[in-house]
Amino acid sequence: MRLVTAQEMGKMDQKTSKEYGIPSVVLMENAGLKVADLVSSLLDNQARRTIIVIAGKGNNGGDGFVVARHLFNRGAEVQVFLATETEKIKGDALVNLNIWRKMGQKVFQIIKSSDTNLFRVALMKADLVVDALYGTGFTGAVRNQMVSLIEAVNASGKPVVAVDIPSGLEADTGRTNGPCIIANHTVTFALPKLGLVLPTAQKYVGELHVADISIPAAVTAGSTENKGKNAGPSKNGNSTSCESDSTSDYRYLITDRLVREWWPRRTGTEHKGNFGRVLVIAGSRGMSGAAVMSAQAAARAGAGLVTLGVPAGIHDIAETKLTEVMTFPLPQSDRGTLSIAALEEIMDRAGNNDVLALGPGLGTGDETAELVKEILLKLEIPCVLDADGLNVLAGKTELFKAVRPDLVLTPHPGEMSRLTGRSTEQIQNDRLGVTAAKAAQWGSVVVLKGAGTVVAGPDHTLFINNTGNPGMAAGGSGDVLTGIIAGLLAQGMPALHAAAAGVYLHGLAGDAAAREKSMAGLLAGDMLEQLPAVLKTIE
């Protein structure tokens, strides 16, 4: 599902009215009706319920007046509080304010502190609050009476439905700079705004509902819809679909529907060779678990054959733990890590496989760094590079651009910090920008892990994931993700789609495991156990 900024959504609204002849007041009517429908679904015995609508001076307030009208017509007691002078209401919002007044309904203005006290009293008797104070054009911080108003709503304990966006939240950044409505539900219109799906906004958005308000599909799709769904990135950074010098249209929220569109179909006539061969090169002394979990995850994700190469000293452990995955020993250093002498056999094995997963538990050191470098330079199959495979290349990232086949990099913020030379705080403050920039610079697919994992391709396509939970911040979780992405790549998914689908499925498996085991008790192995059930929902 495409993600848009406030400005992009505004242009779509204008295009709908100018080119398709749908009046903006009709869009406002449809928006308010969808919010009213949700409120009705949340309240039983609506005729006995008291609902407060708080409205601002802009179009968001106009949406609120429409909500109030429909809920009143359905039998609810509705009180409208307007946080501005009525003289400031203009355009479509004024049309709907006048309709509300002609219905004989009052508007309570909140201008001074005594008005806020009246509002607090009203809140005590309310069953639900509809927030229509600020719309997606809001930036900065709320001021004056709005501060007291928002604080009163949040302190009331009443359920809140936000219209388009919680008041006080920035639509493009997902940030707040002061008080912000904490909604239980947010109904956004046509397409989700970028800020609504970012981790910083989750506390305020609650459950997000995307409502169709009759904007034509050709408008919401835009000229680059196929780019995010069907185009695979190439090593030169160009999409196989279309070209553009703008990145604004290339953001998507990963959804079930999107992953199903990408999913490799099985007709019933295939054999294991049809689903790809994955070679996993991983592990070191004391780190056999990382190697084992990556290999298991690749097999669980659907790869036909998975082979794991590990240092000879831990081979017996890996072979004992794995039943469905083939294993083989490789020369090792005195430190129990892979030796540079392993290069020739690794490359020979790679020639008989479709995908390489490299890095989990490899360890660090000069010899490991040299081995990883040589593998990447000689490689002719797609590769997922993770963990120590990334760490040993800090300061050598020019190598990524030199890799010929598709390369998927899966750093967590600490690893990204080492790769870029930026602080972890700087990276976390600009997760989308950093990921997109580095994907383009390195000519690779980059997966920046963490809450709201970001996946970017060298063609500027960007995906944001909203599955997963804090319980997944556990050892081995990233190793499982590496294997899942490698397994999807082996089945023929383009690198960008395999990465995006992989993080989505990984998060779903983590959510399923947390429901069964709790977040505190969640282990990486629990995600592996849940993966088949998650895949079943996609198939």
CA distance 383 to 379: 8
CA distance 9 to 319: 55
CA distance 105 to 260: 48
Residue 272 structure tokens: 């294991």
Are 448 and 436 in contact by the 8 Å Cβ rule? The answer is no
pLDDT digits (tens, 9 = 90+) for 439-448: 999 999 999 9
Residue 373 contacts by C-beta under 8 Å, 6 or more apart in sequence?
393, 396, 399
Specify the CATH architecture of the domain 6-221: 3-Layer(aba) Sandwich (3.40)
pLDDT digits (tens, 9 = 90+) for 157-171: 999 999 999 999 999
Sheet containing 50-55: order of strands: 107-109, 77-82, 50-55, 128-132, 160-163, 185-189, 207-211
How much is the mean pLDDT over the chain? 93
CA distance 371 to 282: 12
Residue 461 contacts by C-beta under 8 Å, 6 or more apart in sequence?
227, 228, 231, 233, 239, 250, 252, 496
- Angstrom CA distances, 334 to 183, 366, 460, stand at 57, 13, 43
Residue type, 455: V
CA distance 319 to 327: 6
Residue type, 206: G
Q: Count other Cβ atoms within 10 Å, centred on residue 490.
A: 28
Residue 67 structure tokens: 């909500």
Q: How far apart are the two ends of the chain, measured CA to CA in Å?
A: 19
CA distance 442 to 105: 61
User: Average pLDDT for residues 374-396, to the nearest whole number?
Assistant: 97
Q: What is the pLDDT of residue 265?
A: 83
DSSP letter, residue 338: B
Query: H helices within 406-467, ranges in order?
Result: 413-420, 424-429, 431-442
Residue 245 contacts by C-beta under 8 Å, 6 or more apart in sequence?
none
pLDDT digits (tens, 9 = 90+) for 209-267: 999 999 999 999 864 334 443 333 345 333 333 333 334 458 999 999 999 999 988 87
Give the residue carrying structure tokens 């017996």: 316
pLDDT digits (tens, 9 = 90+) for 40-99: 999 987 778 999 999 999 999 999 999 999 999 999 999 999 999 999 999 999 999 999
- Angstrom CA distances, 128 to 150, 203, 389, stand at 14, 18, 52
User: Average pLDDT for residues 519-539, to the nearest whole number?
Assistant: 96
CA distance 535 to 320: 27
Q: What's the pTM value of the predicted model, to 2 decimals?
A: 0.90
Strands 445-448 and 454-456: antiparallel
Sequence ranges of the chain with CATH classification 3.40.1190.20:
230-240+247-262+271-538
Dihedral angle computed from the Cα positions of residues 83, 88, 91 and 95, in that order, rounded to the nearest 10 degrees: 60
**Beta strands in 121-190, from DSSP E residues, in sequence order:** 128-132, 160-163, 185-189
Sequence ranges of the chain with CATH classification 3.40.50.10260:
6-221
Q: What is the pLDDT of residue 345?
A: 98
pLDDT digits (tens, 9 = 90+) for 104-151: 999 999 988 788 999 999 999 999 999 999 999 999 999 888 999 999
Cα torsion angle, 98, 150, 465, 195, sign: positive
Q: What is the pLDDT of residue 114?
A: 82
CA distance 154 to 404: 54
pLDDT digits (tens, 9 = 90+) for 344-364: 999 999 999 999 999 999 999
Name which of 453, 456, 365 is nearest 408 in CA terms: 456
User: Average pLDDT for residues 311-334, to the nearest whole number?
Assistant: 97
CA distance 125 to 39: 17
Are 277 and 304 in contact by the 8 Å Cβ rule? The answer is yes
Q: What is the pLDDT of residue 222?
A: 66
Residue type, 79: Q
Give the residue carrying structure tokens 């629990």: 526
Which CATH superfamily groups domain 230-240+247-262+271-538? Ribokinase (3.40.1190.20)
| DSSP characters over 472-526 | G-STTHHHHHHHHHHHHHHTT--HHHHHHHHHHHHHHHHHHHHHHH-STT--HHH
Q: What is the pLDDT of residue 233?
A: 39
Residue 250 structure tokens: 């290339």
Residue type, 14: Q
